[in-house]
Amino acid sequence: MKCVKKNFGILNNRKINLFVLSNDNGFSAGCISYGAALQSLYFPDAPEKSVVLGFDNLRDYVKNKYYLGVSLGRTAGRIGGASFKTDGVVFTLSKNEGKNTLHGGENGFHRIIWNAKILETGADRCGVKFFTVIKPEYDGFPGEMQAEISYILNNSNELEIIFKALSDKTTLFNPSNHAYFNLGKEKTILNHCLQINAPYYLELNDENIPTGRKINTVGTAYDFTKKRLIGTSLKNLSNNYSIKNKGLDTPYCLNSKQAAVLEDENSARRITVLTDRNALVAYSANYFESGWNINGENSVPYMGIALEAQTLPDAPNHEDFGNIILRAGEVKEYRTVFKMEKYNSST
C-alpha cells in the first residue's frame, strides 16, 4: 500500500496536488486537491484506462461544467427556490441554476482548493484527507464550517469516501461525490448493466426539483430493482436516445446499504456502491457535449454514469426526505464505498 503525491498545477498561487493511492492488488485511485475530486480509478487488468471519467489537466477541472469526479457540498443536488426554513427562520442561498441552488451553489465544495494530508492508516490501507474551513461569505450558507473529505483505499479493493463536518451555526450538510463510471472499452455505458436497491424514485418537476411524490419503480423505465441494461432504460426514457428528452437524472429511495451494482460484461468489471445514505442519484451524462477531452477521448452523451450517494435532494423542504440540518457544535459524518472486482461474466 502506498500514497504518492504529485504536482497537478498551480491555481491562485497555490499548488494543486494529485494523490495516487495504490493497493497491493494493483488497484489505484487518483485524487486532486482542487474540488477534492476523484480524478481516476484503475483496475489492474487495464492500467491504461481509468474506470472513472477525468481530465488530465487542472485547466479543465477549473472549467468543469459536468462536475467530473468532484466533491459536492455543502449540499449535493438541488435546493428548490434556493431557500430553506428551520426553527422558524428562512435562509436564502445563492442561485446558480435558474431559481434554484445546485450542488452547493457557484462556490460549492467543487470550487475549493483543499488542504491535504496523507493519512497514516496501516499496512492494509492508505489514504488522503482533504480539509478546510468554509466561511458563509464564501458559499452563501449559514455558519462557519470545518469540513473534511477522506479517500481511503484498502486491500479488499474498496475505495471509501468519508465526509465529515462541524459548524458554529445551524446549516445544511448533504455532501456527495460526482464520479462518472465507465467500466469498459466502449465509449458509452449503454451496454453496462445496473441494479439499484430502490423500490421508489422521486418525481421531479420541469426544473428537476422533487415534487414530494415517491413513485414505485416496478414496471417503469426507471426500474433497476433487478439487473438491467442501461441502454434499454435510456431508450425508453429518451425517445431513441434523443438528448432533448433526457435520460437518467433520477433520485432513488434506497432500501439497503448496498445501494447499487454496476457491471460491464465485456470487461467483467464490477463496481458495488455501499453507503449509509438514503438515496442514490443516477445521472447518465445526458447533456455531455463534444469538445472536452475526457480520459483521452472526445466527450459524447452517455459517456459515463454518475452514482451519487446522498440524502434525498431538497430534503429541508420535504419532511420525509431525511435530515440534513447540521446544528451548531454537532459533528456529522457520512460514508460511501466503491468496491471494485472482476467477476465471471459467463455465469
Q: Is 66 helix (H, G, I), strand (E, B) or coil?
A: coil
Percent of the chain with pLDDT over 90: 91
pLDDT tens-digit profile of 25-55? Answer: 999 999 999 999 999 999 999 999 999 999 9
Residue 194 has a pLDDT of: 98
Number of domains composing the chain: 1
pLDDT tens-digit profile of 219-278? Answer: 898 999 999 999 999 988 866 555 555 789 999 999 999 999 999 999 999 999 999 999
Residue 237 has a pLDDT of: 83
Residue 236 has a pLDDT of: 85
Residue 244 lies in a domain: yes
Residue range of the domain that includes 121 = 2-342
Residue 347 lies in a domain: no
CATH code assigned at 227: 2.70.98.10
Residue 346 has a pLDDT of: 66
Residue 60 lies in a domain: yes
- Annotated catalytic residues are 178, 308
DSSP H or E segment with residue 294: strand 293-294
Contact 76, 313 (CB under 8 A): yes
Per-residue pLDDT at 85 exceeds 70: yes
Q: Concatenated DSSP letters for 143-203?
A: S-EEEEEEEEEETTSEEEEEEEEEESS-EE-B-EE--EE--SSSSSSTT-EEEE--SEEEE
* Beta bridge pairs of residue 162: 150, 335
What is the distance between the alpha carbons of residues 37 and 39, in angstroms, rounded to a whole number? 6
Residue 299 has a pLDDT of: 97
Confidence of residue 316 (pLDDT cuts 50, 70, 90): very high
Residue 137 lies in a domain: yes
Residue 330 lies in a domain: yes
DSSP H or E segment with residue 90: strand 89-92
Under the phi-then-psi rule, with left for phi > 0, alpha for psi from -120 to 50, and beta for the rest, what region is 47? alpha
Residue 347 has a pLDDT of: 53
Contact 347, 110 (CB under 8 A): no
pLDDT tens-digit profile of 92-103? Answer: 999 999 999 999
Residue 245 has a pLDDT of: 55
What is the average pLDDT score of the chain?
Answer: 95
Query: What mean pLDDT comes out for the span 315-336?
Result: 97
Residue 133 lies in a domain: yes
Residue 240 has a pLDDT of: 56
pLDDT tens-digit profile of 128-184? Answer: 999 999 999 999 999 999 999 999 999 999 999 999 999 999 999 999 999 999 999
Residue 209 lies in a domain: yes
Q: Is 49 helix (H, G, I), strand (E, B) or coil?
A: coil
Residue 239 has a pLDDT of: 61
Confidence of residue 345 (pLDDT cuts 50, 70, 90): confident
Residue 176 lies in a domain: yes
Per-residue pLDDT at 281 exceeds 80: yes
